[in-house]
Amino acid sequence: DNGTAAGVAPHPNGTAQRLPSIVIIGVRKGGTRALIEMLSLHSVVAAAENEVHFFDWESHFQKGLPWYLSQMPYARPGQLTVEKTPAYFTSSKVPRRLHQMNPDVKLLLILRDPTERVLSDYTQVFYNRLLKHKRHQPIEEVLVKDGEVNLGYKALNRSLYYVHMQNWLRYFPLGSIHVVDGDALIRDPFPEVKRVERFLQLPPQIDASNFYFNRTKGFYCLRDRGRERCLHDSKGRAHPQVAPEILHKLYRFFREPNRKFFELVGRTFDWN
């Protein structure tokens, strides 16, 4: 026995790679990067740099837990490992797989107004295609087909939060899933991050002075031991203009799914 416990890969300087005890499961464009960066302000948190896509990508999942472990950051004793892969939330096979790894894992889910999230999702795909010199259909053609909300549009499905939440609640109790209000995190991140700190039972450490509003960026940025940084330019992009009647069609469309989600989590959100 070389002293290696299951699920731990030690390193000479006392740090070790550990499987995550906290996972940010989504939602895509909910503010997942902002959330993990803000949590990283806490000395107890060791965050994986990249999106790992272990539980949702077959080619990764087949490599097994040793591979997943190899993707984790080196953490000091007592630190908690966290990874974020926003695609987990909407992938139906992930809850069972994640539960199998650790039924006590703490899950963070950051959500935004579902219509706003669709526009953000569209904007991301738009820019990705632009980089590949490909054109993207105009937003209004994607959102509406024959006068009706286009149910075939994938981004719309990702905003049906109750559908995906039901899958998670088959495996995890509500108490294991903390929903972060992504709209509130944009407006005023500090109170939202404090709630996460409490949910994770971390010693209170994150402070109001860790956040400052950057006028140029139009968003809050972070102050970490005197060093200031904002998120990447790809975070906080302008969304396309959408005709008000189409927006209202979407607001109406999401009203019932939203209500179902509120019922599932026993809490309401200030969505359109």
Q: How far is the CB of 41 from ligand A3P (least distance, A)?
A: 12
In the complex, what is the shortest distance from the CB of residue 270 to ligand A3P, in angstroms, rounded to a whole number? 16
Contact between 171 and 177 (Cβ < 8 Å): no
Nearer to ligand A3P, 16 or 38 (CB): 38
Q: What is the smallest separation between the CB atom of 218 and ligand A3P, expressed in angstroms? A: 8
For residue 14, give both structure tokens.
């006392």
- Asked if residue 117 belongs to a known ligand binding site, the reply is no
- Alpha-carbon distance of 56 to 58, in angstroms, equals 6
Terminal Cα-to-Cα distance of the chain (whole angstroms):
58
Nearer to ligand A3P, 33 or 164 (CB): 33
Residue numbers at the binding site for ligand A3P (CB under 6 A): 29-34, 86, 120, 123, 185-186, 219-220, 231, 235-237
Find out whether 252 is annotated in a ligand binding site.
no
Report DSSP letters for 31-60, one per residue. Answer: SHHHHHHHHTTSTTEEE-SS---TTT-HHH
d(CA 148, CA 230) in angstroms, rounded, equals: 39
Query: Judged by CB, which is closer to ligand A3P: 67, or 213?
Result: 213
Say if residue 238 carries a ligand binding annotation.
yes
Q: What would the two tokens of residue 65 be?
A: 């837990």
CB contact at 8 A, 154 and 27: no
Residue 90, sorted as left (phi over 0), alpha (psi -120 to 50) or beta, turns out to be: alpha
| Coil, strand or helix at 234 | coil
**161 has binding-site annotation:** no
- Reading the block at residue 94, the tokens are 């992930």
26 is in an annotated binding site: no
135/139 Cα distance (integer angstroms): 12
Between residues 31 and 114, which has the closer beta carbon with respect to ligand A3P?
31
- Residue 6 in tokens: 């299951």
Give the residue with the Cβ less far from ligand A3P, 109 or 200.
109
The one catalytic residue among 29, 84, 106, 249: 29
Active site residue 134: no
Q: Which amino acid is at 143?
A: L
Q: Is 32 annotated as a binding residue?
A: yes
Please report how close the Cβ of residue 119 comes to ligand A3P at its closest, in angstroms.
7
Q: Smallest distance from the beta carbon of 33 to ligand A3P, in angstroms?
A: 3
Q: Which backbone phi and psi does 231 adopt, to 5 degrees?
A: -70, 165
90 C-beta neighbours (distance < 10 Å), count? 21
Task: Answer yes or no: is 60 a known binding residue.
Answer: no
Active site members: 29
Binding residues: 29-33, 112, 120, 220, 235-239
Binding residues for 3'-phosphoadenylyl sulfate: 29-33, 112, 120, 220, 235-239
